[in-house]
Each structure stands twice: as C-alpha cells, then as structure tokens.
Amino acid sequence: MARAAGHYPSTAYIRFERWGKNTLLYGGLLLGVLVMVLPFVWMVLTSIKPRAEILSYPPSFAVHHPTFESFRDLFRLVPMKRYILNSVIVAGAVTVTNLFFCSMAGYAFAKHKFWGRDKIFLLLLGSMMVPWQVNIVPAFVLIKKLGWLSTFQGLIIPTMAGAFGIFLMRQFIREIPNDLLDSARIDGCKEFYIYWRIILPLCRPALASLSIFMFMQQWNNFVWPLIIIHDSKMRTVPLVLAVLNGQFGGSFGLLMAGAVISILPMMIMFLLFQKQIIKGIVLEGIKE
Amino acid sequence: MMFFLNKLKARDPAGRLLFFAEFKKMIPGYLFILPAVLIISVFVFMPIVASLFLSFTQYNVLQPPKWVGLNNYYRLIFEDRLFWIAVRNTLMYVAGTVPIGVALSLLLAVWVDSVKIRFMKYLFRTIYFLPTITAIVAISVVWKWLYAGGTYGLINFVLVKMGIPPVDWLTNPKTTLPAIMLMSIWGGIGYNFIIFLAGLQGIPRTIYEAAEIDGASGLRNFWHITLPLLRPAIVFVVLMSVIGSFQVFDQVYILTQGTEYVGGVLHSALTIVTYLYERGFERFEMGYASAIAYMLFLLIFVLTLTNLKFLRLKE
C-alpha cells in the first residue's frame, strides 16, 4: 500500500478503505462472538428440549416444545439440591475466611514492622510459583490422617487463606495513608480495633474483588473435591457433573441441564460484578 | 543470625534490654499474620517438603512409607513408557495451544481496542471473557456434546454439510488430543485477552497519532509500536499460558471419561497430570505420584527459565 510521493489518494478511496477496514474489523469480531457464544447457546437449547428433539436429525436451533423435563430428571436422579447447597456452603465459607485472614495478614505485611516480615512475605509469594500438583499428594494424606475425607472441613480448611489474597490486600492497604492509622493510635485505639474500624471499611473495593474471585474459584473447583470426596452425599456441583458424565454419558439433556446449573450463577455474577472481576484478574497479571 | 544476636544484646540508654520491649511492639503484627501463615504452612509448605520426601519412597497410605532412594525417578525416566507418552502429549498440547491461543487473543484484543463505540467494546469484552468464569468441567461437558460422534454432534453436522465425513473426535486416538486442544484454546482466550486489553489501554494514543503524521499505519504500527510496548504483557501471558498448559487436567479427565483409561483410547490424550492422578489417586502409588509431581515441577521450572531468557533476549 505504498503511496508514491505526490500521489494522494482521492477522498473516495480513503472512504472506501475505511469502510473496508471497518467491515473486516466488525466481521472478524462478530465471527469471534459467534464462536464464543455458540457452545453456550447450544447448551441452553439442549437443556430445554424434550428428549425426542435433542437427538433429532438435522440438529436444529428451534425448540418446538420447550420443557424443563431434563432439569426435573436431573433433580429426581440425584440429590441436586443437596449438591448445590454443598457448593454454596464450601464457596461461601472459603470466601468469608479468606476475606478475614487475607486482609489481616495483608494489613500486617503493609503497615506493621516485625522481624522477618519481608522474608515471610516473599516466601508466601514464592509458594504461588510451585504447581499445586506438588503438594496435592501429601495434602491428601494429611486430610486422610485427620479423618477429614468427605467432610466440609476437608473441603474448606486447606483453602481458608491464600497467597494471592494476601498479596491483593497488601497492595491495597499500602495505599492507605499512615497518618490515619497513627492518629488512631494516639487516640489509644487497640490494633485490632484499627483493623476492624479503619482498615476493613476502607478496603471495601479490594474485599469485593477478592470475594467474587474466591467464590468463583471455589464454585468451579474440581480436582480437590474429586480427590477427597468419596461419599456421594458430599459432592459439589462440578463433581456431580463429572459423575453424571461417567454414568450417563449419552444423556445430553441431563448433562446440559447440569452444565446450565453450574454455569448460570457465574454468568449472572459476572454480568453484575464485571468491573471487580476484571480488576482482580488484571491485578493478578501485574504482580509479576 | 548475627543480626538477631545483636538485637538480643542491644540495650537502651538506661541499660535495660531492648529485645523484649521491641518484640512486644511486634506482637500484633505476628498475630495478624498467624492464621493465614498457619493455614498456608500446614497445607502448602509442609506438603511441598513432604512430597519431596515421599518421592524417594514407596507409599500406599496404608503401610508406612518405605525408602527406595532414587528408584522412583529411575523407573520414571528409564522404564516407564507411559510417562514418556504423557510428556510427549503434554509437550504437544503446550506447543499447540500456547502460540495459537496467545496469537488469537492478541489479535482480538487489538481489534476490540480499536472499536470506537463504547457499548460495542463492552459487549465484545464481556462475551470473549465468558468461558473464563465458567467451570472447565461444565465447559468440557458441553464440548463433549458438540464433539458427539456420528452426525449427532453439532461439529460433525457442520462437517457433513461441508462434504467432509464425520469424525469420532473423542474415541479416535488421532483426534482426541487435537479436540481437547481446540476446546482449551476456546476456553483460554478470555483471560489472555483481558490482560492484553489492559496493556493496550496503557499505551498512550499520542504515540499512534505521531506515527500517523509520519505516515505509518496499520500493520507497521502494530509491529513497531504495539508489540514492543506490549512486551511485558506478552511475556506474562506466554509464561502463564505455558505454566497453565503443563498442568492441564480437568478437560482431559472429562473428555476422555468413559474410555478404558484416564487419558483416552491408547493413551492418546494422557498428560502428565492425568498420569499423576491415575498413579496417585486410582492406584494409590503415592511415592511414584510424588516423583511425577517433582518431575513436572522441574520441567515447568526449566521451561520458565528458558522462556524468560528467550523472551528477554529479544529486547
């Protein structure tokens, strides 16, 4: 597209070129959107089709007789309510404990002086570099020795605090001016009171990011429940999806209904809290 | 240690030991980090060390571990054909998903960044990001339906319409791994895309305006402005993608579930972590599984270092 000196393209050509570029741009992006959305659309459509329509040929995007049959089958076949409750309990408990423990530790690493502070912090960050496969075998053995297989404590306690949360909170709390804390100290406030009354309220945006992030991660978590849950009553949503996939691999209506139950809450959460989620992700990216 | 001893001996002008007075002031700090440090020590640090110990033993959880020295590693490297199949598959998976995934997400990020209408930008960003927030297990179940054999699956239906014979994606050893890779690329684009988009938004518009005055545009802008300024984001995304891809498990587990082994027909999609899972948690060979874990750790570590060196060199 080299333009010889002195030869200027006509305005019509420029307009044509811009039009072409825009068509290409939006065409490409829309194709991408199609590819991204299609599996989700297909999932939802399959989940509300009656059994006869699911395997009909040719596959069709039209649903002639929409029905909740597959969902009803799913809840009849397995105690789905119980599994959803399990997932909510685990994700909720892990989120709440992370909020407290990570903000407390983040506060100490940001604003307190104690021997070994920076070394301990670096060690914690370093633990994020070790792949989880390295500690999963002994962690399983530990949980087994504690008698925590197939229990809530086995699912919750090992993830009650994490290096990522501590890092996120520390970065945020560092920005809080020291004067604020010092004047509270002069007024005779105890350290825990300062944390509870000053730090926590000021951290609200970071806490929001962390809680959404933790809840999502736990709701979607698969490997840890797969390894330590052997009692069918204690299954979480991803785990029951895997079990159904193994037992009823061909019942796609059932499986898609399960997938909808797993995916829909996260989609709603994402649409509501998109800003916080993306901020959390980008921050994680910047830490390096 | 010397530092600590000096601290112990230090006295205030009145001759009193400073250590306890100073330590007392630090107690709140230690108390604040205590719960988190305790949890992470017990469930992360201790297991990392224990895993190294276990990798030199034979251990089935029921009987106490039996020391076997380097035997596990010896077997892995010289005698275990399956381990090398797993390594080969994992390397193929990484080599396939990372370059394509990074290139596609970069392209999409540049495109979305150049969209002028704010609402459209928001819409594109939301949609490309969707797979990232969903459980890989759920996505895999959906894709298993898309990949369904015969002409039932949507993908095969499209192929047949285009005059290509249908493929048994997940039971044909030739297509299992590529099918898993395709799904992983689809699911992984959103995360990289968001990081790139954030990086692109950090590049000042004035640079492009200046380039435009100089007559540069389009592809040349991309090569000479966007790519160099985006380098930190690219390095980060490549590193993270490589590390993440080496640990692929969920999608392999779900998409090959129902075939004879974890890892699909003829081990065609057996990856290192799937193999670790099978040895450790289906056959309860904890020592051997730990050895696989440390081999994986070593592999990731070496590759990350070479990656860093390679990516920095071109600066």
Per-residue pLDDT of chain B (315 residues; tens, 9 = 90+): 556 666 666 677 766 677 777 888 889 999 999 999 999 999 999 999 999 999 999 999 999 999 999 999 999 999 999 999 999 999 999 999 999 999 999 999 999 998 888 898 889 999 999 999 999 999 999 999 999 877 788 999 999 989 999 999 998 999 999 999 999 999 999 999 999 998 998 888 888 888 878 777 777 888 888 888 898 889 889 999 999 999 999 999 999 988 777 788 889 999 999 999 999 999 999 999 999 999 999 999 999 888 888 877 554
Q: Where are the domains of chain A?
A: 11-67, 70-286
Closest CA to A266 of A211, A209, A220, A205: A220
Cβ pairs bridging A and B (under 8 Å): 266
List beta partners, residue B58. Answer: B66
Separation between Cα atoms, residue B168 and residue B155, nearest integer Å: 11
Question: B142 vs A42: CB contact, 8 Å cut-off?
Answer: yes
Closest CA to A287 of A118, A174, A164: A164
**Beta-strand pair B57-58/B66-67:** antiparallel
Q: Which residue has the tokens 């065409």?
A: A27
Q: What is the DSSP string of B236-253?
A: HHHHHHHHHHHT--HHHH
Q: Report the pLDDT value the prediction gives residue A69, as an integer from 0 to 100.
A: 93
| C-alpha torsion sign, points A183, A186, A189, A193 | positive
- Asked if residue A285 has pLDDT above 80, the reply is no
Please tell me the CATH code under which domain B74-313 is placed: 1.10.3720.10
Q: Which of A101, A238, A245 sits opposite B257 (nearest CB)?
A: A245
Residue B101, Cβ density class (10 Å: 0-12 exposed, 13-18 middle, ≥19 buried): buried
Separation between Cα atoms, residue B309 and residue B315, nearest integer Å: 10
| Residue B227: Cβ within 10 Å count | 13
Residues with Cβ within 8 Å of B297's Cβ and at least 6 positions away in sequence, in order, are A130, A131, A133, A134
Q: Report the pLDDT value the prediction gives residue A1, as an integer from 0 to 100.
A: 45
Structure tokens at A9: 């393209």
DSSP run (H or E) holding A58: none
Nearest CA in chain B to A113: B26
Q: Which ranges of chain A does DSSP label H, i.e. alpha helix?
A: 11-47, 51-54, 69-77, 80-111, 117-127, 133-145, 152-156, 163-174, 178-186, 191-194, 200-202, 204-220, 223-228, 237-247, 252-286
Segment A132-146, tens digit of pLDDT = 999 999 999 999 999
Higher per-residue pLDDT: B265 or A231: A231
B291 interfaces chain A, CB cutoff of 8 Å: no
Segment A235-269, tens digit of pLDDT = 999 999 999 999 988 889 999 999 999 999 999 99
- Please tell me the distance in Å from B211's CA to the nearest CA on chain A: 15
Q: Which long-range contacts does A100-103 make (Cβ < 8 Å, 24+ apart)?
A: A100/B35, A101/A160, A101/A161, A101/A165, A101/B35, A101/B36, A101/B39, A102/A161, A102/A162, A102/A165, A102/A166, A102/A168, A102/A169, A102/A210, A102/B36, A103/A169, A103/A173, A103/A195, A103/A199, A103/A200, A103/A203, A103/A206, A103/A207
Q: How many CA atoms lie within 13 A of B24 on its CB side?
A: 5
Do B56 and B286 touch, CB atoms closer than 8 A? no
B155 interfaces chain A, CB cutoff of 8 Å: no
Q: What average pLDDT does this structure show over A66-70? A: 94
Separation between Cα atoms, residue B109 and residue A29, nearest integer Å: 10
Question: B28 vs A59: CB contact, 8 Å cut-off?
Answer: no
Percent of chain A with pLDDT over 90: 66
Q: How many CA atoms lie within 13 A of A42 on its CB side?
A: 23
- Asked if residue A67 has pLDDT above 80, the reply is yes
Q: Which of B48, B112, B114 sits opposite A135 (nearest CB)?
A: B48
Separation between Cα atoms, residue A169 and residue A227, nearest integer Å: 30
Q: Report the pLDDT value the prediction gives residue A288, as an integer from 0 to 100.
A: 41
Q: Report the pLDDT value the prediction gives residue B315, as an integer from 0 to 100.
A: 47
Q: Report the pLDDT value the prediction gives residue B103, as an integer from 0 to 100.
A: 96
Q: How many CA atoms lie within 13 A of B23 on its CB side?
A: 8
Structure tokens at A152: 């809530």
When mean pLDDT is compared across A177-181, A215-219, B34-38, B139-143, the lowest value belongs to A177-181
Residues with Cβ within 8 Å of A76's Cβ and at least 6 positions away in sequence, in order, are none
B37 interfaces chain A, CB cutoff of 8 Å: yes
Closest CA to B142 of B100, B186, B104: B186
- Please tell me the distance in Å from A234's CA to the nearest CA on chain B: 18
Q: Helix B18-40 and helix B2-9: axis angle, to 10°?
A: 140
Question: A43 vs B127: CB contact, 8 Å cut-off?
Answer: no
Question: A120 vs B294: CB contact, 8 Å cut-off?
Answer: no
- Please tell me the distance in Å from A180's CA to the nearest CA on chain B: 18
Q: Which ranges of chain B does DSSP label H, i.e. alpha helix?
A: 2-9, 18-40, 46-54, 71-74, 81-114, 118-133, 136-146, 154-161, 173-201, 205-213, 218-221, 227-229, 231-246, 250-255, 272-277, 286-313
Question: B39 vs A158: CB contact, 8 Å cut-off?
Answer: yes
- Please tell me the distance in Å from A214's CA to the nearest CA on chain B: 12
Q: What average pLDDT does this structure show over A79-96? A: 97
Q: Report the pLDDT value the prediction gives residue B309, as an integer from 0 to 100.
A: 84
Architecture of domain A70-286: Orthogonal Bundle (1.10)
- Specify the length of chain B in residues: 315
Segment B170-187, tens digit of pLDDT = 989 999 999 999 999 999
Separation between Cα atoms, residue B7 and residue B2, nearest integer Å: 9
Separation between Cα atoms, residue B54 and residue B286, nearest integer Å: 7
- Asked if residue A6 has pLDDT above 60, the reply is no
| Residue B49: Cβ within 10 Å count | 12
Q: Helix B286-313 and helix A133-145: axis angle, to 10°?
A: 150
- Please tell me the distance in Å from B15's CA to the nearest CA on chain A: 22
Query: Left (φ > 0), alpha (ψ -120 to 50) or beta: where does A6 sit?
Result: left
DSSP run (H or E) holding B58: strand B57-58
On chain B, the residues whose CB falls within 8 A of the CB of A43 are 142, 145
Q: Which of A134, A195, A259 sits opposite B293 (nearest CB)?
A: A134
Return phi, psi of residue B276, to 5°.
Answer: -60, -45
Distance of CA A200 to the CA centre of its chain: 23
Q: Chain A neighbours among B 52-81 (CB < 8 Å)?
A: 54, 61
Q: What average pLDDT does this structure show over A43-66? A: 89
- Specify the length of chain A in residues: 288
Global pTM reads 0.90
